[in-house]
């Protein structure tokens, strides 16, 4: 190595060749860049709730209310409705709303909230089911067996919860890399709770066995369906 080569290697940075100027295409691309719109914590919750509520509202507007509704204790009607509605809101928010500072929903919180919601409505149905003698209906009054009546109401719960599951799964795509089954369970429980809320006002069968097996059971089955569905989608 000559003295000139050695001096060139040790030359200060300013003595190196200047980089070529950026191309026009690069400048145009950089100039057209815009800030990325970040997700809001409650955006998915609001979307799923608004779209999913269309069918329950339509059902309550077109289907006849149970004939014993005005004869039942007012406190019981309000308390049961509030419990179903609270279970819906808490389960849906646990499935879709991240905790403050987080980006994704927390699967552990989703499973705990949904299980607590299902346990609460089950306990209430077991200890506080109300009937109005002469107005409340039994399955045999409709010439149905208990099984037939339960299948009928469970099917209705699935019709309600299917909308929440579909819209919720679309909102959750690419957002639940792990713990998908637990988030899906909370999403299904929310749809099942909304189905139970609608049945609270339109189902004429007030027996404890029917409410537990069909209304609460429908919520549990919807939660299981949500867990299996979201878990299967994520595996694919």
- What integer pLDDT is reported at residue 220 of this predicted model? 96
- What integer pLDDT is reported at residue 6 of this predicted model? 46
Give the residue extent of every domain in the chain. Answer: 43-235
Q: Is 189 exposed, middle or buried (0-12, 13-18, 19+ CB in 10 A)?
A: buried
Distances (CA, A) of 62 to 55, 56, 71, 149, 169: 11, 10, 21, 21, 28
Euclidean distance between the first and the last CA atom of the chain, given in angstroms as a whole number: 61
**Is the model's pLDDT at 208 over the cut of 80?**
yes
Residue found under tokens 């089955």 = 221
Contact assessment for residue 205 and residue 150, using Cβ atoms and an 8 Å cutoff: no
Rounded Cα distance, 214 and 196, in Å: 9
Question: For residue 137, what are the β-bridge partners?
Answer: 205
- What integer pLDDT is reported at residue 12 of this predicted model? 54
Q: 104-108, 129-133, 157-161, 228-232 — which one is most confidently predicted on average?
A: 157-161
Percent over 70 (pLDDT), the chain: 78
**Is the model's pLDDT at 149 over the cut of 90?**
yes
pLDDT, the chain, mean: 83
- What integer pLDDT is reported at residue 103 of this predicted model? 60
Confidence of residue 38 (pLDDT cuts 50, 70, 90): very low
Tell if the pTM clears 0.95, that is, is over it. Answer: no
Question: For residue 205, what are the β-bridge partners?
Answer: 137
- Residue among 202, 215, 194 nearest 65 (CA): 202
Q: What are the tens digits of pLDDT across the range 153-162?
A: 999 999 999 9
**Is the model's pLDDT at 221 over the cut of 60?**
yes
Rounded Cα distance, 99 and 184, in Å: 17
- φ, ψ (nearest 5 deg) of residue 205: -85, 115
User: Where are the alpha helices (H) located in the chain, listed in sequence order?
Assistant: 3-9, 24-31, 43-52, 54-62, 74-96, 107-128, 146-172, 180-202, 208-210, 217-235
Q: What are the tens digits of pLDDT across the range 164-192?
A: 988 888 877 666 556 678 888 999 999 99
Q: Is 86 exposed, middle or buried (0-12, 13-18, 19+ CB in 10 A)?
A: middle
Rounded Cα distance, 138 and 75, in Å: 22
- What integer pLDDT is reported at residue 224 of this predicted model? 94
């Amino acid at each position: 190595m000559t003295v000139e080569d050695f001096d060139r290697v040790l030359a200060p940075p300013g003595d190196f060749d200047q980089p070529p100027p950026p191309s026009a295409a690069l400048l145009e691309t950089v100039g057209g860049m815009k800030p990325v719109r970040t997700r809001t914590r409650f955006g998915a919750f609001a979307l799923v709730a608004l779209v999913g509520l269309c069918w329950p509202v339509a059902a309550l507007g077109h289907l006849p209310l149970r004939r014993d509704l005005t004869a039942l204790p007012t406190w019981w009607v309000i308390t049961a409705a509030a419990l179903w509605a609270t279970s819906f809101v808490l389960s849906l928010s646990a499935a879709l709303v991240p905790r403050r500072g987080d980006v994704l929903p927390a699967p552990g919180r989703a499973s705990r909230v949904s299980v607590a919601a299902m346990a609460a409505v089950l306990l209430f149905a077991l200890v506080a089911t109300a009937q109005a003698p002469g107005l409340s209906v039994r399955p045999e009054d409709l010439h149905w067996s208990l099984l037939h009546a339960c299948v009928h109401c469970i099917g209705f719960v699935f019709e309600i919860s299917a909308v929440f599951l579909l819209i919720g799964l679309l909102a959750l795509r690419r957002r639940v890399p792990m713990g998908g089954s637990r988030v899906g369970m909370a999403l299904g429980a929310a749809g099942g709770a909304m189905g139970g809320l609608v049945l609270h006002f339109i189902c004429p069968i007030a027996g404890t066995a029917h409410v537990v097996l069909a209304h609460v059971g429908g919520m549990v089955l919807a939660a299981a369906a949500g867990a299996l569905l979201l878990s299967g989608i994520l595996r694919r």
